[in-house]
Amino acid sequence: MGLAQIIYPRPAESGFQEWAWDHYQHHLAIIQQASVKGFSLNQYRIWPVTQENIQDFLDQHQQMHSEMDEIANVQGANLQDIDFKDKKKVDAWYWLNYVEHQSVASFLGGGI
Ligand SMILES: [Zn+2]
């Protein structure tokens, strides 16, 4: 799985679910690589993502980012509040999420 896969979902009906899975996998890779480096990160429920649990996803995902940003000394964005009806904000959300994944991955090394 490449980091590039979690930038934006593919513009297909299954795009979001593919993204959600790949993004979840990258969080697991971060947790794994963090433990190799001697850091302990908690795992929260960020998959599956459904219409019904989207707020839980946003809350738990924010927690994961706060914890991983802290060990990597990354200035994190607010990824918790998002208006899914505003395409510009949604695109910005994906991008900011990706940038944090990229920063933390480069801090941790290990090719994740
Ligand atoms: Zn994330």
Q: Which residues hold their Cβ within 5 A of ligand 1, which is an ion? A: 97
Q: How far is the CA of 94 from the centre of ligand 1 (A)?
A: 9
Q: How far is the CA of 89 from the centre of ligand 1 (A)?
A: 16
Residues 6+ apart with CB under 8 A from 90: 82, 83, 84
pLDDT in tens, 82-102: 988 899 999 999 999 999 999
Model confidence, pTM:
0.95
Phi, psi of 51 (to 5 degrees): -55, -40
Q: Pick from 108, 89, 97, 105: which is nearest to 19 by CA?
A: 97
For 21, the token pair is 């899975």
| pLDDT surpasses 90 at 20 | yes
> Do residues 41 and 68 touch, judged by C-beta distance below 8 A?
yes
* Placement of tokens 């990597």 in the chain: 72
